[in-house]
């Protein structure tokens, strides 16, 4: 899966327009990055990547790149 595909997954999850995110985007600057987004991210890692990640880890993500790097 390339970076663009990963970004698209994240855009869909956050209900954002396609190709609106890039890896440098700071999560706290996206208004859609809220408590529901954190939960959706945990579920996304579990269902698409078979990874069980903790809320603490997701809350520690600073930029879109931090999320993308875990999508492997």
Rounded least distance, CB 52 to other proteins, Å: 5
Residue number with CB closer to other proteins (60 or 72):
60
Question: Tokens 């078979």 — which residue?
Answer: 50
Residue 63 contacts residue 24 (beta carbons within 8 Å):
yes
Residues that bind other proteins (CB under 8 A): 35-36, 38-40, 42-43, 46-47, 52-56, 58-59
Residue with tokens 């890692």: 45
Residue 25 near residue 62 (C-beta atoms within 8 A): no
Using the minimum distance from each CB to other proteins, give the nearer residue, 25 or 40. 40
21 versus 58: smaller Cβ distance to other proteins:
58
């Amino acid at each position: 899966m390339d970076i663009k595909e990963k970004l698209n997954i994240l855009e869909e999850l956050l209900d954002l327009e396609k190709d609106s995110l890039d890896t440098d985007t700071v999560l706290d600057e996206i208004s859609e990055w809220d408590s529901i987004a954190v939960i959706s991210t945990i579920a996304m890692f579990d269902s698409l990547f078979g990874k069980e990640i903790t809320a603490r880890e997701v809350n520690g993500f600073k930029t879109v790149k931090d999320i993308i790097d875990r999508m492997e």
